[in-house]
A and B are shown apart, each in its own frame.
Chain A
Amino acid sequence: MQNELRDPALGRQILSKITPLAQKAARRLGRPAILMEVCGTHTMAIAKSGLRNLMNGCLEMRSGPGCPVCVTDQRDIDKIIALAGQHNVVVATFGDMLRVPGTNSSLEQERARGSLVEIFYSPLEAVEYAAGRPQKEVVFLGVGFETTAPAIALSIAAAKSRGLTNFSVFSVHKLVPPVMEALLSDPELKIDGLILPGHVCTITGRSAFDFVTSKYGMPAVVAGFEPVDIIQAVYLLLKQIIDGPARVVNGYTRLVREEGNRKAQEIMQEYFEPADACWRGFGLVPQSGLALQEKYSFFDAAARYPLEVPEMPPAGGCACGDVLKGKIISPECPLFAGACTPLRPVGPCMVSSEGACAAYYHYEWAQADA
């Protein structure tokens, strides 16, 4: 089945049906339809397949707030960098956080100055690492959405059952449905349809996003990540835009259930509770983050290291916030590919492997054009 979903012939066949549909939608709207892919993995898949350029002119695709590194608040990043400066602390993280710029530094720069920063692909590896180094304090950075939280919850379970006292989690987890509420209630929003994140919906279930249409009348399709998945989602969205009615269609039935993954939800609820969280570009979004449950506060790095860092303004000219809300596309940011590049990023969207600006920079923009 995976191979079928990558079949270029099938992809091209559906694509050929999209152009006339997109033209029809554009006539109805008086401008090309604008679709938002919420998830960073979709952003990358679209860039890699050259899809955007195939749709050029008749349809616009914009990225949304679905890259966990990109939406992490500047102040949280500064806190993480301050954590790395604590005596005996090893900051354990997924690789994407390494080069994310804080106000004055990044974990990569702090590591070069002597801080201990270790990269892991799985939080359970970090537990293993902590078990082998009882004299160090290992703090895992919980950066991610509903997809990452259950794995991090399991790492706390593992640390607890092994009696580890030197493992904790700094949770800046975010929840997707609340930020979609914040996005859709923005009166300036100009989006005609949503490609919803397949991985997140695997956990939450399709029905968790019903409010998108019931409350905001927005067409939406839950999509997988193969090229044919995405093309199919575009096709289904255009059909909704033209013929209505708006509804949340499950285009990823091979993994996404109506009610989601109960087991993962239970694990999440056991260890985390919803909390207010700050998002880059959005500010405070009520009940959109995950904090550790009181009974696991022993493993809560925020409680263990009550660091206060001042609130700093974002770097001048950085338009990551507007990119994350789909208001502009990356090349419209004044810093894009000039002051802000993957090597010297000003904002996180340029450095995360799922960031919209990184996708544009790596795949859709040429250095020689500059």
Chain B
Amino acid sequence: MLFKGSEKMFNQKKDDLILLAHGDGGLLTSRLIQEYFLRHFNNDLLGTLTDASVFQSEKGKMAISTDAFVVDPIFFPGGDIGKLAVCGTINDLAVSGARPLYLTASFIIEEGFPVADLEKIIVSMSQTCRGAGVQIIAGDTKVVGRGQADKVYITTTGVGYLLPGANLGYQRLEAGDRVLVNGCLGNHGLAILLQRETLGIQSRITSDCAPLNGIIEEILKRFKGIKFMRDLTRGGLATNAKEIALASGMDFWLDEEALPVEENVKGVTELLGLDPLYLANEGKFLAVVAAGEADELLKFLKEEMSSGEACLIGEIQAGGGNVYLRTALGGTRKLNMMAGAPLPRIC
């Protein structure tokens, strides 16, 4: 537990840049913790500043998940590395049928990183946590020399309880089940790409980065016909569907015309030779639901959960681990796992 440190015993002016000494466990580390991490993450468990946070457990099964975040750029339309680090781990727990409770956050910071940017990230994490009803109860900070890391990397670990009655597993997939997504595909990956490359493309494409635990808990409570969920991060819908198909031995049949993609995302991906089905999302899940509950689930998401773009995009059939896309023309194409990040066309 390295948020721990000595008491406030200095009154110098605030530092502008992260120094190696901010990670040495001494005075500067302590000040960084007090003035930024503790101030914004502010909760009783973290505030004890002990080597480990101790919390009361409930009965039942627990879930734990961890993820490292190295996104570049660290600030992007619709989010930042901090929000992403919170949402990513929360969503991994949520799609597993768990209610996320606590997170830990571990920072690797490059020497010379502006303290103001670090604070922006911490504030963003704190706000995202508050919105999602989780707390950051342990953390760590390390500083590495200039050039030995790129700005800041964050690792979050989350724990939560399995929701009572939650029973998600690809073993439950059956022919006839329907496939649903909760909104438009490809925004996060494209928003990042457009920030990273100086393409001169003016677009309003924003990342869909958002915590999904609230919405998922609601639908799992109401719809026992939900058999499996997956958040559609790296590799996008196509890669994730293929992984589920291979694991379950069932086939996915998706309808091209039903897939929700924003018009501007469609336009830009076409221009760049990318496929939105392979682009990462950070606030989207795929759910496989029993046919009898599919329409009701869709209606509930649209009307009660403000997921107006949620869509039923296909169905499960017996088969051999394939993902088929029925094209608008009436043809069929197979979707495979992403092999190497998508690259733009050149002529």
Contact = CB atoms under 8 A, between A and B. Distances in A.
Interface of A: 6, 8, 11-12, 15, 40-41, 44, 47-54, 68-69, 94-99, 119-122, 125, 128, 143-145, 147-148, 199, 227, 231, 341-343, 351, 353-354, 361-369
Nearest to B242: A367
Interface in B222-275: 242, 245-246, 257, 272-273, 275
Given A49-B333, A96-B344, A96-B346, 12 more contacts: A8-B330, A11-B329, A94-B346, A121-B199, A343-B339, A353-B343, A353-B345, A354-B345, A363-B334, A366-B334, A367-B321, A367-B337
22 contacts: A12-B329, A48-B275, A49-B328, A50-B326, A50-B330, A52-B331, A54-B330, A54-B331, A95-B344, A96-B343, A98-B343, A120-B197, A128-B198, A144-B347, A227-B328, A354-B347, A365-B334, A365-B336, A366-B334, A367-B242, A368-B321, A368-B322
A97 B328 CA distance: 31
Contact of A361 (B245, B327, B336): B336
Interface string B76-93: 000000000000000000
Contacts of B320: 368-369
B340 interface: yes
Contacts of A51: 329, 331
Contacts of B321: 367-368
B347 A147 contact: yes
A110 to B, nearest CB: 16
A368 B275 CA distance: 22
B50 interface: no
Interface of B: 197-200, 242, 245-246, 257, 272-273, 275, 320-323, 325-337, 339-340, 342-347
Contacts of A120: 197
Nearest to B245: A368
B347 A47 contact: no
A6 B327 CA distance: 12
B240 to A, nearest CB: 14
Given A95-B344, A366-B334, A15 B198 contact: no
The 7 A-B residue pairs with the shortest CB-CB distance, nearest first, are A50-B331, A342-B339, A8-B328, A50-B327, A95-B343, A94-B346, A368-B321
A305 to B, nearest CB: 22
Contacts, number: 124
A40 B343 CA distance: 14
Which secondary structure characterizes the binding site on chain B? loop
A353 B344 contact: yes
Given A342-B340, A343-B339, A368-B320, A54 B346 contact: no
B244 to A, nearest CB: 12
Contacts of A128: 198
Given A125-B198, A343-B339, A365-B336, A48 B347 contact: no
Contacts of A148: 346-347
Contacts of A199: 347
Pick the most buried of A50, A54, A94, A98: most chain B CB atoms within 10 A of its CB.
A50
A41 B332 CA distance: 19
B330 A12 contact: yes
A227 B344 CA distance: 20
A12 B332 CA distance: 14
A227 B270 CA distance: 13
Contacts of B337: 367
A50 B332 contact: yes
Pick the most buried of B198, B242, B275, B340: most chain A CB atoms within 10 A of its CB.
B340
A128 B199 CA distance: 12
B277 to A, nearest CB: 10
Given A99-B340, A343-B339, A40 B329 contact: no
A231 B330 CA distance: 13
A145 B347 CA distance: 7
B337 to A, nearest CB: 7
Contacts of A8: 257, 328-330
Nearest to B246: A368
Contacts of A368: 245-246, 320-322
B340 A49 contact: no
Nearest to A93: B346
Nearest to B321: A368
A48 B332 CA distance: 9
A228 to B, nearest CB: 9
Pick the most buried of B198, B342, B346: most chain A CB atoms within 10 A of its CB.
B346
A304 B321 CA distance: 53
A68 B339 contact: no
Contacts of A362: 335-336, 339
A163 to B, nearest CB: 22
A12 B327 CA distance: 11
Contacts of A363: 333-335
Contact of B329 (A47, A50, A69, A366): A50
Contacts of A95: 343-344, 346
